[in-house]
Structure 1
Amino acid sequence: MAKETGLSGAINNVTQKQKEASFDHIGIAEKENNRWYVLHAAPKGGSQKQDLASFLKDQLNDGQKVVIYRLKPEYQKSVTPALKKAESMLGKPYNFNYILDENSYYCSDYIERAFRENGIFKLEPMTFIDPKTGKTNEFWTEFYKKKNLEVPEGKPGCNPNGLAASEKLERIGEF
């Protein structure tokens, strides 16, 4: 679950969909040889396969909660191909611009691409507008100014809140 300040707060400020939950990171769990892993894209390590215990330790030590979702039964057949796709994208650097790029991924981009073949999630026009002011959130204005880039308002993308809000998922619980 998202923090309220910094990058996490800025992501959540313009993307939160659910009143009871807000997210700034997303991954996919995989069981392999009786061990659980999380495949995800993170600023530290890029696209990676991390032992679940290590992932949970990182998140919980950072003051985050971890919420577990599962695809509804009618979409379960897409899990195996998504895991194969996610495995094929491991090792790519993190996308610090949050603009779709074939050579680097941000967390929700990594997950959307993993499931893209089966249309589980969809890209939507990104927004960086603060719903309270109706103007581009100041964090994002400064963020992209420092990178000498325009705010990618309306460009295709995805975010953890948008993916978590999918009607194809069901909430299982949280750590």
Structure 2
Amino acid sequence: MAHCSSYQKLSLQNGDLLFVTAKGTGLSGAINNVTQRQETISFDHIGILEKEGNELFVLHAAPKGGSQKQQIKEFLNDQKEEGQKVIVYRLKPEFQKSIPQAIQKAHQMLGKPYNFNYILDENSFYCSDFVERAFREDHIFKLEPMTFIDPKTGTINAFWEDFYKKKNLKVPEGEPGCNPNGLAGSEKLERIREL
């Protein structure tokens, strides 16, 4: 694995968004099945890059560890172990003024648990929810009605039906939310490169 100094050479910037490619199975596959927007690539996780002196960190909400600040090396190793890739996106220049405040907001959310229901609340966050909230004050991303409908069948995906049934919850079809594919599709972002 490359040393942190070699990540610096990749010209990563404070506030860059790190999107993780989706796997085809389990929770990742189920998220992707109902949210994929691009034929070529889809994502199931996202974090915000923070530069602190010479060190790089990722601010993100993950099932293991909740809302956290993780060294980039660890973050990338976790994705590599799962066979996933990380793609860097960046806010277009006219929106970059939002970054310092977003990072400050992300810090306020650290330590909160992961939101395993994907139903928005103020005490726990899922990955794209964490990022959307960090940038919310400047309306960088928008919440959209969530869908759990399988586009192939037109009915609620069986994974999600079962997922919510086990939690004694109704599938939150149409409730406000966000997902990594929706965030990646924002016209306020540009794709930079694969890490």
**TM-score of Structure 1 vs Structure 2, range by shorter chain:** over 0.9
| Runs of 4+ that moved beyond 3 A | none
Matching of residue 129 in structure 1 with residue 149 in structure 2: yes
Mapping 1:25-174, distance limit 5 Å: 25-174=45-194
Q: How much is the aligned-residue C-alpha RMSD, in angstroms?
A: 0.5
Tell me by how many angstroms 1:20 deviates. Answer: 1.4
Partner of 2:121, secondary structure, is coil
For the residue of structure 1 that corresponds to 2:191, the secondary structure is: strand
C-alpha separation in 2, matches of 1:167 and 1:21: 17
Distance 1:50 1:125 in 2: 30
1:18, distance to aligned residue in structure 2 (A): 1.1
Please give the per-residue CA displacement for 1:60-115, whole angstroms capped at 9, x wherever unaligned. 11111001000000100000100000011000000000000100000000000000
1:54 is matched by which residue type in structure 2?
A: E
Number of corresponding residues:
175
Q: Describe the superposition over 1:34-71 as per-residue Cα deviations: whole angstroms up to 9, x where unpaired.
A: 10000000000000000000100001111110010000
Identity of aligned residues (%): 75
Structure 1 CA distance for aligned equivalents of residues 159 and 143 of structure 2: 23
Which ranges of structure 1 fall in alignment gaps of 5 or more residues?
none
Which of 1 and 2 has higher RCO (CA within 8 Å, sep 6+)? 1
Q: Distance in 1 between matches of 2:162 and 2:179?
A: 19
In 1: Cα distance, 2:182 partner to 2:41 partner = 12
Q: 1:13 maps to what in 2?
A: 33
Q: Please give the TM-score of this superposition, normalised by the length of structure 1.
A: 0.99
Give the SS at the match of 2:74: helix
Cα distance in 1 for partners of 2:185, 2:59 equals: 20
Bigger drift between 143-152 and 13-22 goes to 13-22
Matched letter for residue 67 of structure 2 = S
Structure 2 Cα separation of the partners of residues 165 and 18 of structure 1: 9
